[in-house]
Chains A and B, each alone.
Chain A
Amino acid sequence: MKAHAESRTGNGTGSRGVEMAVPVVVGHPNRVPFAGVLTLVDVPSEKAPAGARGHRVVLRRLAAEAALPSLMGMAVDFTSQWDGHDARAKCGILTHAAIEGFELRVRGYLFGRDYPEVELGIDEHGEGAMGMSYELADAQVADMRASVWQLERVMFTGAAILLRHKAAYHGTSFRLLGEDGGPRRKAARRRPACPSRNARGRTTGR
């Protein structure tokens, strides 16, 4: 797999993106494409992210752009309650990221056969209910005393799929796609062999 950066200016917002080349395999049983808005740039979060000591944060556009390559190949994870991160419950991978307007949009694949309960859970919560959350390492804050922290350098280490209202940014989103990258037909959904099993094979929530 090769990662490369490309510039896109088609929408007039000067968007910039990166993608990881993944060979196309028609009918891959373990790839369920998804798209989402991971976060917003140059916009304050609605809530204080965990780790920000109660401060709301602004991810600066330049910081996000510089950190886009760090997203490639990182995993998406989930929790049984869809309310946070579980870095050891990785159910998919990020392969595209781009900043368009104020949105940092991502695309990737869920491991649909390995984690059928994720697909089922997303469907059960209904359209528009799910959002995303980033995980950062080594975030450089311009002024720790400011009420809203400005993040001027970050490194993405992963992302989570969660209920949109649990995310620090309410403007995030997550949706599953069809195999061709277009809208998904729910009829094609795979039924889980064991719906109550979570990512670690447990039968109950944590």
Chain B
Amino acid sequence: MEEMMAGLESLEATVERLALVANNLEQQLHARDAEMSGRVERMVAVEDGTGYSGDAAWESRLATVERAIAELRAVAELQAAGQAVSSPAAAGAGRRTLPASTANLLAKHGMGEAGQIEQGVLDTALQSLPVEQRIAVKSQLLRAGLLG
């Protein structure tokens, strides 16, 4: 009888342990499920990379501006390197003519092709223009050797 009681108690303890293990497993499973699942705030069924036209337009505009900045930097570096090795006369010989629209714009702000244009003065003059136009004007001035 005592042996039987001891066996039952042992069985009961085993069942309790198993229940505990099962409970732990269940909790781990739920935690794993929660970790794996996720929520996406917004999704549109167009090929990735297209998405919202507004986003695409801004990204395209940003890419254009970034390209223009990179070009300007490259031009500026080249010019700095050129000025370091050549005389002012030689630099002047390489000048090109400004487009009429740029010349008119500069003339409107009291700046001409007569000489070098200060960066600060130019920035003030171009304040009212959109960033792309500002970059374009500066780029033309750099190419013409007029921007100091």
- Pick the contact of A85: B39, B40, B51 (CB < 8 A): B51
Cβ of B45 and Cβ of A206 under 8 Å apart?
Answer: no
State the Cβ distance, A154 to closest chain B Cβ, in Å.
8
Stretch at the interface among B21-29, B52-60, B137-145: B52-60
B41 adjacent to chain A (CB < 8 Å): yes
Which residues of B are found within 8 Å of A52, using beta-carbon distances?
Answer: 40, 43, 48
Q: Kindly name the residue among B39, B44, B52 whose own CB sees the greatest number of chain A CB atoms within 10 A.
A: B44
Task: Indicate which residue in B36, B39, B40, B51 contacts A84 across the interface (CB closer than 8 Å).
Answer: B51
- A138: which B residues are within 8 A, CB to CB? 39-41
Size band of the interface chain A makes with B: 35 or more
Whether the pair A136, B42 counts as a contact (CB closer than 8 A) is yes
Residue from the set B38, B40, B41 with the largest chain A CB neighbour count within 10 Å: B40
- How far, in angstroms, from A166 to B43 measured CA to CA in the complex? 15
Measured CA separation A167–B47 after assembly (Å): 6
Set B36, B37, B54: member contacting A206, Cβ < 8 A: B54
Structural contact, A48 and B48, CB atoms closer than 8 A: yes
Chain A residue nearest to B38 (CB atoms) is A144
Separation of A47 and B38 alpha carbons in the complex (Å) = 20
B72 CB to closest chain A CB (Å) equals 26
Q: Which of B36, B39, B48, B54 is within 8 Å of A47, CB to CB?
A: B48
Chain A residues with CB under 8 A of B14? none
Q: Does chain B have a CB within 8 A of A86? A: yes
CA distance A154 to B110 in the complex (A): 61
A142 at interface (Cβ–Cβ under 8 A)?
yes
What mask results when residues 149 to 171 of chain A are scored 1 for a CB within 8 Å of chain B, else 0? 00010000000101000111100
- The answer to whether A135 and B44 have CB atoms under 8 Å apart is yes
Closest residue of chain B to A163 (Cβ to Cβ) is B46
Q: Is A18 an interface residue (CB 8 A)?
A: no
Q: Given A145-B36, A206-B53, is A84 in contact with B41 using a C-beta cutoff of 8 Å?
A: no
State whether B47 touches A166 (Cβ < 8 A).
yes
B148 within 8 A of A: no
A39 CA to B54 CA in the complex, in Å? 23
* Docked CA distance A168–B54 (Å): 19
- Nearest B residue to A149, CB-CB: B40
Query: In the bound complex, do residue B41 and residue A137 qualify as a contact, i.e. CB atoms below 8 Å apart?
Result: yes
Closest residue on chain A to residue B50 by CB atoms: A84
A153: nearest residue on chain B (CB-CB)? B39
Cα A95 to Cα B43 in complex, Å, equals 22
Interface flags, A53-91, vs B, CB<8A=1, else 0: 010010000000000000000000001110111111000
- Which residues on the A side are within 8 Å of B57 (C-beta)? 206
Other A-B pairs, 12, CB within 8 Å; known A48-B48, A50-B48, A87-B52: A50-B49, A51-B43, A85-B46, A86-B52, A134-B44, A136-B40, A139-B43, A140-B37, A141-B40, A144-B38, A166-B47, A167-B47
Partner-B contacts on A (CB < 8 A)? 39, 45, 47-52, 54, 57, 79-81, 83-88, 133-145, 152, 160, 162, 166-169, 172, 206
Q: Give the top 4 A-B pairs by smallest Cβ distance, nearest first.
A: A50-B51, A51-B43, A133-B45, A144-B38
